[in-house]
Structure 1
């Protein structure tokens, strides 16, 4: 079990309530549902998800937390890295598999992300708007922003220049 899988399993309020009810006293599905104050169907779904993540063991007649797997996840995750480069932290937070999850609200973080995206353009080469859009769509495909907004931010931050529908990268 990875820390990410654990976080995903416990990301939902209902699943956290079910997990807490199991931690407090275990028991069968009906007892956990009563303790969590949730409908049995919702509890069954939550238990299935928690069991798939490896956090809960459902032996059929009793639900319990798999404490050993939690300890293992804690050992393998290790302490959070404080020495990580702040720019890398921004990229890790806002990029997933080369796609923008969202644009940061803070200008400094947004600038880091935009500078990374601007690296897609070769300095000194002029790009027609259609080609710029094509390159930026790759960054936005299925993500939390669109290529037009991204293009506007790149121009606003003076990472790309624009004149008569032609764009080029500014700087190194």
Structure 2
């Protein structure tokens, strides 16, 4: 599946990026890609295979895949309230270092994962946070700890209570 994360991962490797650029500029065969990118034929072939597996290149001769559907999903998933690139849909991608921005992201997660003044067992907290962490940089335990540290979840007596967010 072509996701923004996969695209970045695949193109982060310099030879793949060079091969992709060659395809975008019109190189269609491995020999053309090698010549246009300055890669050895073998390296161009490996890069082309990885680009095909990632869904960035298709066909023979090679041509760039249509990435418009991917771009459309990005515009649908990116929050309009300044949470990008940290939140995409109901996924937490990463947390910012800046305290106020981090708090804003954590408030967003808490408001979507929990109901204020509701008690939850730790197992349910973990299940709800795992969904948010799937594919991101944080694990659910770290996220839970941040939510407690920021006062968005209160822990006591083996239960957690979601706190109301400031207005």
> Do the two structures share a fold, i.e. TM-score over 0.5?
yes
CA distance in structure 1 between the aligned counterparts of 2:118 and 2:97, rounded to whole angstroms = 30
SS in 2 for 1:127: strand
| Partner in structure 2 of residue 162 of structure 1 | 155
Q: TM-score, structure 1 length as denominator? A: 0.62
SS in 1 for 2:143: helix
Q: TM-score, structure 2 length as denominator? A: 0.63
Change (3 A) 1:45 1:166: same
| Partner in structure 2 of residue 46 of structure 1 | 47
Q: Work out which of the residue numbers 131, 136, 142 in structure 1 matches 2:129.
A: 136
SS in 2 for 1:93: coil
| Partner in structure 2 of residue 113 of structure 1 | 105
Which whole-Å deviations, capped at 9, do the CAs of 1:67-98 have from their partners, x for residues lacking one? xx99x97xx98xx9xxx8443xx2x4223452
Contact in 1 for aligned 2:86/2:96 (Cα 8 Å) = yes
Q: Over the residues paired in the alignment, what is the CA RMSD in angstroms?
A: 3.8
CA distance in structure 1 between the aligned counterparts of 2:134 and 2:32, rounded to whole angstroms = 45
Structure of larger gyration radius: 1
Q: Work out which of the residue numbers 114, 118, 138 in structure 2 matches 1:145.
A: 138
Unaligned runs of 5+ in 1: none
Unaligned runs of 5+ in 2: none
Shift of 1:10: 4.7
What is the 5 A alignment of 1:20-35?
20=21, 29-30=30-31, 32-34=33-35
Shift of 1:165: 2.3
